[in-house]
Amino acid sequence: MKRVEKFLKDAEVYYLATVDGDQPRVRPFGTVNVFEDKIYIQTGKVKDVSKQIHANPKVEICAFKDGDWLRVAGELVEDERREAKEAMLDAYPNLKAMYSVDDGNTEVFYLKNAKATFSSFTKAPETVEF
């Protein structure tokens, strides 16, 4: 799991794929944080991505850096606890200009039943589950 977190942070931008009815939707994200041994992401409840995650929590994440890429398939579970939101905002202080723990908009999700596949042009894929 730490390797997944490190890759996503090193890449700085990863792409989150959700489903909107029968249409896939992909958008860039940059937040990733480990809290209580789980990988978390953050978004706002007013965004379409939030609505899509709540309707279908199965997602994929993809990131690319230096000729290597990572795909993570799993389910996102909302964590409404204040501590989880605080941990994310503390890890990304720049978010505090747009979000706060008590704004009614900030939400954090952790990955469960996740399968990460590390790939490159020169090595065989390696899969880890967490």
- pLDDT digit string, tens, across residues 79-118: 999 999 999 999 999 999 999 999 999 999 999 999 999 9
The whole-angstrom separation of Cα 81 and Cα 99 is: 15
- Give the torsion sign (CA, 64, 65, 67, 71): negative
Q: How confident is the model at residue 41 (pLDDT cuts 50, 70, 90)?
A: very high
Instruction: Compute the 3-state secondary structure of the chain and give helix, strand, coil in percent, each to the nearest 5.
Output: 25, 50, 25
The whole-angstrom separation of Cα 89 and Cα 25 is: 25
Domain containing 49 equals: 2-129
Pairing of strands 33-35, 58-65: unpaired
User: Residue 121 belongs to a domain with what CATH number?
Assistant: 2.30.110.10
Say how many domains are in the chain.
1
The whole-angstrom separation of Cα 73 and Cα 84 is: 22
pTM: 0.95
The whole-angstrom separation of Cα 112 and Cα 68 is: 23
Query: Which pLDDT belongs to residue 49?
Result: 98
